[in-house]
């Protein structure tokens, strides 16, 4: 999920999987540099109201800044303090932003970037600086502390959500809260986290839920489902024996039972494709496996596997240590396709001269305006017969930028806005703003959508706002607004040409959806 899932102005911030304190930027402390906790809010309308907390710290290591808000946390890249002023640079998830603020008594005042302009913001000092790890999530709490967090969760989630009971009856929500409260003394931290996550996902929409803490113990494997088979399609170093193997059991539980439990952590009101994608991720998280009672510990998991020759074997997979990066992965594919190249680039294009095609991988929205301009420059240089925009693994951002930077310009390009010339690749996990833009491509242009049905419903609650639980500091997100991106027909974004990969395609490195597009004759 990125900056925005729907239209409308908002403070330009980036959605993070981990809070901003993880790696605070710093510079040397200067005399008179503002310090302390400053709080305030921006936006006058309910759909534009964002609560902000700025923590400015001067310690032995230098000058630090952290920004937490009810929309998300800023990722600070630079914080420089001077006499009565502070200069901040941050990554919004779609562009780099800057803020310059001056101290007037206990008020910190200055313009803050917003979509389409800037807004003067005043934050009031409410106390001394917090330690940089003051809001670090923890699952090691007493029963009394967890009970206080559960009460806050039960009170704040319905209050923050646009309509928490659009699908889930309030009575069911209250019964689930009461049941978890009753069981708290006998549960460990992972089980309580899973219990909270399961209740949040009963609300139904794909944006509501808990943010995973940094220590989630990801297992160095990738799992995909092909019919009733669950296969390991990529592994970390030393685990190559598992490539392509079917999963029979995890932690002694049959894969069917592990799958049933994992699905309870998926948004219950979304389509099966999104539920499956979320559940597959939980099958490779030590925290989830332990919390679901599939494995006895979170630090590792024993997978019972069977290869295509029928040989059965067990592998004890270690979870990645907190703060350590996921190791380089080796895939089961015999070759690497075009779509898997440059995974760290948010948007990149390549001219395929022999196919008279420009292929663009649209992974994320950061700096989309500049990247889209580069795409159009390339198009004007090579004059392709076809343009392919690949959004299959795009998890969202600011859909207004997608509309302005891609959809609207392509609507005006008679050379490309034709059936058979413009293609958009979509997948089950094309999410949030990417789903919204895919629906717009289908409705507003002559693009042909190819791939799999998107798992998120286009008419749904989105635009998450977040809050922290008082003791665990876990971040809870609740969708605040309802968006309607389908005016008629089923509440889904289904491809015009449905193509789902089979195991044989993945193993061979074939990209069936892209191959189909490239094989189509240009008009």
358 vs 380: CA distance, rounded Å: 11
Both 509 and 447 in one domain: the answer is yes
Task: Record the pTM.
Answer: 0.89
Both 382 and 514 in one domain: the answer is yes
Both 295 and 348 in one domain: the answer is no
H/E element, 97: strand 96-104
* Exposed / middle / buried, residue 155 (Cβ in 10 Å: 0-12, 13-18, 19+): exposed
Residue 170 counted as domain residue:
no
Both 315 and 441 in one domain: the answer is no
Q: Which domain holds residue 419?
A: 338-457+492-519
Residue 436 counted as domain residue:
yes
Both 348 and 399 in one domain: the answer is yes
Q: What is the CATH number of the domain that holds 318?
A: 2.30.42.10
Which of 133, 111, 136 is closest to 122 using CA atoms? 111
Residue 143 counted as domain residue:
no
3-state percent breakdown (helix, strand, coil) of the chain, nearest 5: 30, 30, 40
CA dihedral 119, 120, 121, 125 (to 10 degrees): 170
250 vs 300: CA distance, rounded Å: 11
Contact of 124 with 34, CB cutoff 8 Å: no
H/E element, 26: strand 26-27
Angle CA 211–216–217, to nearest 5: 160
Residue 470 counted as domain residue:
no
Show the beta-strand stretches assigned E in 277-339: 300-306, 312-318, 330-331
Tokens of 319: 């979870």
Show the beta-strand stretches assigned E in 105-245: 107-114, 117-127, 209-210, 221-226, 229-235
Residue 481 counted as domain residue:
no
pLDDT string in tens for the chain (523-residue length): 333 333 332 332 222 233 333 345 557 899 999 999 999 987 666 556 788 899 999 998 899 999 888 888 888 889 999 999 999 988 765 556 788 999 999 999 988 765 445 677 889 999 999 999 999 999 999 999 999 999 999 999 999 999 999 999 999 999 999 999 999 999 999 999 999 999 999 999 999 999 999 899 999 999 999 999 999 999 999 999 999 999 999 999 999 999 999 999 999 999 999 999 999 999 999 999 999 999 999 999 999 999 999 999 999 999 999 889 999 999 988 777 899 899 889 999 999 999 999 999 999 998 899 999 999 999 999 999 999 999 999 999 889 999 999 999 999 999 999 999 999 999 999 999 999 999 999 999 999 999 999 999 999 999 999 999 999 999 999 999 999 999 889 999 999 999 999 999 999 999 999 999 999 998 8
The whole-number pLDDT of residue 118 equals 65
DSSP code for 412: T
Residue 153 counted as domain residue:
no
Q: Largest Cα–Cα distance in the chain?
A: 74
If you write DSSP's letter for every residue of 38-93 in order, what string do you get?
A: EEEEE-SSGGG-EEEEEEEEEETTEEEEEEEESS-B-EEEEEEEETTEEEEEEE-S
The whole-number pLDDT of residue 117 equals 53
Residue 265 counted as domain residue:
yes
Residue 479 counted as domain residue:
no
H/E element, 191: helix 189-202
249 vs 161: CA distance, rounded Å: 38
Q: What pLDDT, in 10s, does the model give residues 268-298? A: 999 999 999 999 999 999 999 999 999 999 9
Both 411 and 514 in one domain: the answer is yes
Both 287 and 385 in one domain: the answer is no
The whole-number pLDDT of residue 367 equals 87
* Domain end point (choices 331, 363, 397): 331
- 165-168: long-range contacts at Cβ-Cβ below 8 A with a sequence spacing of 24 or more? 166/204, 166/269, 166/461, 167/203, 167/204, 167/268, 167/269, 168/202, 168/203, 168/204, 168/268
Both 321 and 354 in one domain: the answer is no
10 vs 43: CA distance, rounded Å: 8
Both 281 and 419 in one domain: the answer is no
Both 402 and 257 in one domain: the answer is no
* Domain end point (choices 298, 315, 331): 331
Q: What is the CATH number of the domain that holds 105?
A: 2.40.128.20
25 vs 306: CA distance, rounded Å: 47
Tokens of 491: 């509440």
Both 364 and 505 in one domain: the answer is yes
| Other residues' Cβ atoms within 10 Å of the Cβ of residue 274 | 23
Q: What is the CATH number of the domain that holds 503?
A: 3.90.226.10
Both 415 and 507 in one domain: the answer is yes
* Domain end point (choices 72, 98, 127): 127
Residue 521 in 3-state DSSP?
Answer: coil
The whole-number pLDDT of residue 228 equals 94
Which of 241, 167, 249 is closest to 200 using CA atoms? 167
The whole-number pLDDT of residue 18 equals 36
H/E element, 476: strand 475-484
Domains contained in the chain, number: 3
């Amino acid at each position: 999920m990125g900056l925005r899932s729907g239209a409308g102005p908002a403070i330009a911030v980036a959605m993070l999987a981990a809070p901003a304190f993880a790696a605070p930027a710093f510079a040397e402390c200067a005399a008179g540099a503002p310090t302390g906790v400053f709080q305030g809010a921006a936006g006058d309308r309910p759909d534009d109201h964002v609560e902000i907390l700025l923590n400015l710290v001067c310690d032995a290591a230098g000058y630090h800044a952290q920004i937490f808000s009810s929309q998300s946390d800023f990722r600070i890249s630079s914080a420089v303090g001077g006499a009565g002023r502070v200069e901040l640079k941050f990554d919004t998830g779609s562009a780099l932003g800057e803020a310059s603020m001056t101290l007037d008594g206990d008020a910190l005042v200055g313009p803050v970037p917003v979509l389409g302009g800037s807004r003067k913001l005043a934050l009031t000092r409410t106390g001394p600086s917090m330690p940089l790890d003051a809001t670090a999530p923890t699952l090691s709490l007493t029963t009394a502390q967890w009970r206080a967090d559960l009460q806050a969760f039960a009170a704040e989630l319905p209050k923050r959500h646009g309509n928490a009971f659009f699908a889930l009856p309030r009575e069911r929500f209250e019964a689930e809260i009461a049941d978890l409260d009753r069981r708290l003394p006998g549960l460990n931290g992972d089980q309580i986290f899973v219990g909270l996550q399961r209740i949040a996902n009963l609300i139904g929409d794909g944006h509501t839920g808990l943010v995973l803490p940094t220590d989630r113990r990801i297992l160095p494997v990738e799992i995909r489902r092909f019919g009733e088979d669950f296969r390991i399609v990529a592994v970390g170093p030393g685990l190559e024996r598992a490539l392509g193997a079917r999963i029979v059991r995890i932690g002694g539980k049959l894969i069917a039972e592990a799958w049933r439990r994992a699905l309870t952590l998926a948004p219950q009101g979304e389509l099966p494709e999104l539920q499956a994608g979320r559940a597959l991720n939980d099958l490779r998280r030590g925290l989830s496996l332990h919390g679901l009672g599939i494995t006895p510990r979170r630090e590792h998991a024993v997978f019972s596997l069977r290869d295509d020759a029928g040989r059965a074997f067990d592998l004890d997979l270690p979870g990645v240590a907190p703060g350590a990066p996921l190791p380089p992965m080796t895939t089961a594919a015999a070759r690497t396709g075009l779509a898997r190249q440059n995974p760290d680039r948010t948007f990149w294009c390549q001219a395929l001269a022999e196919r008279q095609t420009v292929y663009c991988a649209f992974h994320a929205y950061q700096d989309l305006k500049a990247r889209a301009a580069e795409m159009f420059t390339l198009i004007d240089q090579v004059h392709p017969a076809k343009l392919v925009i690949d959004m299959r693994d795009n998890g969202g951002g600011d859909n207004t930028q997608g509309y302005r930077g891609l959809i609207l310009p392509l609507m005006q390009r008679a050379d490309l806005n034709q059936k058979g010339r413009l293609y958009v690749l979509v997948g089950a996990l094309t999410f949030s703003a990417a789903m919204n833009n895919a629906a717009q491509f289908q409705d507003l242009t002559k693009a042909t959508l190819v791939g799999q049905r998107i798992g998120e419903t286009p008419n749904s609650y989105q635009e998450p706002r977040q809050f922290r639980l008082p003791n665990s500091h876990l971040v809870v997100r609740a969708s605040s607004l309802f968006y309607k991106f389908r005016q008629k027909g089923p509440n889904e974004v289904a491809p015009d040409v449905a193509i789902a990969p089979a195991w044989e395609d993945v193993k061979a490195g074939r990209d069936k959806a892209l191959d189909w597009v490239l094989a189509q004759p240009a008009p």
